[in-house]
A and B are shown apart, each in its own frame.
Chain A
């Protein structure tokens, strides 16, 4: 009668695991670097430049003969209201 042969279980050495991991990482890292380097840069997104400008309105009211004039700064010389803020209006005329 023979006894079954006991197979000794061999564990990989810690050094092998360490160097194997480092090698795998290096290979993957090199692959990713190559992929990134060889791919086209992404197209730049169009940028809408919007300037916010403050509009300053300089108003001159040219009077018809016999009327007082209204100053450009919006003050009135003849008690008239300045038309500086008058909206643009279309109407029958």
Chain B
């Protein structure tokens, strides 16, 4: 039994695909991998806010209220709205102006961030992020019959918050029928295939402060994603470290007492949404977000906390040897 493993750069991250044996009448894994690579490249070209020629930039610049949109853009906007709805507005896809004001104007792909451990002592007081009461994202409407997206002109949309998860899910949908597969779009991961249920993949969770392995998950299906402050951060004007996860209420980088969150979900998009929402909610709210499906919270002091099903105690415990007198 063979598995095809391909790695490439897209969407400002590393993308990795592992594809097992094809089902009857399906293309060989190498061919499917190449097809998936093209799909992700198209996704990236159409939905990047850093590429002026992208369809997303065209939508954001369009003065009309109702704009014709491709199926891909409609799916991406719908995914962003779904993430906002699911997170109660915490994962807000309309913070384009705010993130630019914070200093994230161009792609930071391949750029080293500021050391997080050094940034934490000088960060503002910790508090949970809150949704923006204006909820601008509610002004978006996707019409698949008409093939349009309607929104108040001037309100810009960023698919970045849900893009990698959506891309992983879209590729995974095309790989249905292969014995096993994993689609890893920059740490937003979707797993599938009947064989993976029998022999699950091991997924390592990276610690955002040390870069070491914080936890090992064994997953046979579904999605997993991680959100953290250790990447896409920079030193803003005034010398303070800023990062890309904004508090929708203030429009400023959120410092909540957590530096990372990993979430499980049925899909990569769901996991990505939960991970971001957990991190933005802070320790207490983060536990609530992750309770149902499970996940990890990494606190400012580096402590790794397992939540929900991951925190369940093992049924069989090996007794520790009696202390010697």
Enumerate chain A interface residues (CB-CB to B < 8 A): 53-62, 64, 83-84, 86-93
Contacts and interface: CB of A to CB of B under 8 A. Distances in A.
A89 B203 contact: yes
A93 B7 contact: no
A62 B240 CA distance: 37
Contact of A89 (B5, B18, B206): B206
B69 interface: no
Nearest to A62: B8
B11 to A, nearest CB: 9
Interface string B1-22: 1111111110011101010000
A93 B3 contact: no
Given A87-B202, A88-B189, A92-B187, A57 B3 contact: yes
B91 to A, nearest CB: 15
Contact of B2 (A56, A86, A88): A56
B5 A84 contact: yes
Contacts of B16: 86, 88
B7 A57 contact: no
A62 B12 CA distance: 15
A92 B260 contact: yes
B228 A91 contact: yes
Interface of B: 1-9, 12-14, 16, 18, 29-30, 33, 37, 164, 182, 184, 186-189, 199, 201-206, 208, 217, 224-232, 260, 262
A88 B15 CA distance: 11
B206 A90 contact: yes
B5 A92 contact: no
B4 A88 contact: no
A91 B206 contact: yes
Given A55-B1, A56-B1, A57-B18, A91 B6 contact: no
Contacts of A87: 202-204
Given A88-B16, A88-B201, A89-B204, A59 B187 contact: no
B5 A57 contact: yes
A60 B189 CA distance: 19
Contacts, number: 100
B227 A88 contact: no
A58 B187 contact: no
A91 B187 contact: yes
Nearest to B260: A92
Contacts of A93: 12-14, 164, 186-188, 231
Contacts of B14: 93
B192 to A, nearest CB: 14
Given A57-B3, A88-B16, A92-B229, 5 more contacts: A90-B205, A90-B226, A91-B206, A91-B231, A93-B188
Nearest to B110: A64
Contacts of B7: 59-62, 83, 86
A60 B187 contact: no
B3 A92 contact: no
Contact of B187 (A56, A83, A90): A90
Contacts of B201: 88
B203 A90 contact: yes
Nearest to A85: B5
Nearest to A52: B199
Contacts of A57: 2-5, 18
A87 B231 CA distance: 20
A87 B214 CA distance: 13
Contacts of A53: 1, 199
B230 A59 contact: no
B320 to A, nearest CB: 30
A52 to B, nearest CB: 10
